[in-house]
């Protein structure tokens, strides 16, 4: 496997960063998770745009252009001969000293990993997830905007650990007011009375690329209303359907929350339609990996 690292494609074993890199020392950096399907990279332009927006928000100057980043992603896929893959694109503040001052980091570190990923086993997509509500609250937006996809994921990791300790594959995170924000790595949706509802970004949810695609598919394909509204775990318990979305997870149904069975305990019909529509879309659109 070859890894893109600061302009070079190097063997996995030689893809190393300095112990003084502020991405490692302080989580000072941004990243994107991207998927390639059937020889095309899905929503690559949107992911790179979000990467640059996150970097701008934390005053991190990326040393490459958007077009150069795109070509680096595609070349890494070509070298590894991957047609279907998960892509991790990371930009850190770079190597500095042991202090917080980012001015001591003279050049960002950029690396790209392309590999296979299976976030959940097939039976979870067939039968649905059983998730819990974490006691770990989502970071407040005033401290760290959820729009910034940063390397500092300890908030999410702690909630994930709680889920693991309760033998659950995922955990729902609430904001400090007790409203549902998102899960540790996915956005969350519910259907109620033929209306699709998801938390607004200001409540603590990342504006996920897959989230936006699913909202659009619901409008165009299912012809159903979509709303961004705050809600509590209670509204999830009484929902007609619940599902999660994410680049790695794609669209996956939830059939039990905190021991409460959602509706009849089976993936809902609208969720199944969205899973199918999303799968069809990912395999028909995207930036081609092969050179023209």
What distances in angstroms separate CA 245 from CA 12, 125, 186, 205, 275, one per listed residue?
30, 12, 5, 12, 10
Among residues 49, 24, 105, 36, the alpha carbon closest in space to that of 76 is found at 36
Length of the chain: 292
* Structure-token pair, residue 245: 């979305």
What distances in angstroms separate CA 71 from CA 16, 36, 60, 78, one per listed residue?
22, 14, 21, 10
C-beta separation of 123 from 94 below 8 A: no
Strand runs (DSSP E) across the chain, as ranges? 2-5, 8-11, 29-37, 40-42, 85-92, 109-115, 129-133, 171-174, 180-183, 187-192, 195-198, 225-228, 241-246, 250-257, 260-261, 287-288
Going across the sheet that includes 287-288, the strands are 8-11, 2-5, 109-115, 85-92, 29-37, 40-42, 287-288
Catalytic-residue membership of 149: yes
Catalytic residue among 14, 66, 137, 149: 149
C-beta separation of 74 from 97 below 8 A: no
Other C-beta atoms closer than 10 Å to the C-beta of 17 total 16
Name the β-bridge partners of 41: 36, 287
Among residues 231, 119, 117, 236, the alpha carbon closest in space to that of 170 is found at 119
Q: Catalytic site residues?
A: 149
């Amino acid at each position: 496997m070859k890894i893109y690292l600061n302009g070079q494609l190097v063997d996995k074993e030689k893809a190393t960063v300095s112990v003084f890199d502020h991405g490692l020392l302080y989580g000072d950096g941004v990243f994107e998770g991207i998927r390639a399907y059937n020889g095309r990279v899905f929503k690559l332009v949107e992911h790179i745009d979000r990467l640059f927006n996150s970097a701008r928000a934390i005053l991190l100057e990326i040393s490459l252009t958007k077009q150069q980043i795109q070509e680096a992603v595609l070349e890494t896929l070509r070298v590894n001969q991957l047609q279907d893959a998960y892509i991790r694109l990371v930009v850190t503040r770079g190597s500095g000293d042991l202090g917080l001052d980012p001015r001591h980091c003279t050049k960002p570190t950029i690396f790209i990993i392309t590999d296979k990923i299976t976030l959940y086993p097939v039976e979870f997509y067939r039968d649905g997830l059983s998730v819990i509500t974490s006691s770990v609250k989502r970071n407040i937006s005033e401290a760290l905007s959820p729009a910034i996809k940063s390397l500092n994921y300890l908030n999410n990791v702690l909630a994930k650990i709680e889920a693991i300790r309760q033998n659950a594959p995922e955990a729902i995170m609430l904001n400090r007011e007790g409203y549902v924000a998102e899960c540790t790595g996915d956005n969350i949706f519910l259907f109620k009375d033929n209306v699709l509802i998801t938390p607004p970004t200001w409540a603590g949810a990342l504006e996920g690329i897959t989230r936006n695609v699913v909202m659009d598919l619901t409008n165009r394909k299912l012809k159903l209303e979509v709303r961004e509204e705050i809600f509590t775990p209670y509204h999830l318990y009484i929902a007609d359907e619940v599902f999660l979305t994410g680049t790695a997870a794609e669209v996956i149904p939830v059939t039990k929350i905190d021991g409460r069975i959602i509706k009849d305990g089976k993936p809902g019909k609208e969720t199944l339609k969205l899973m199918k529509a999303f799968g069809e879309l990912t395999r028909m659109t995207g930036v081609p990996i092969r050179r023209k």
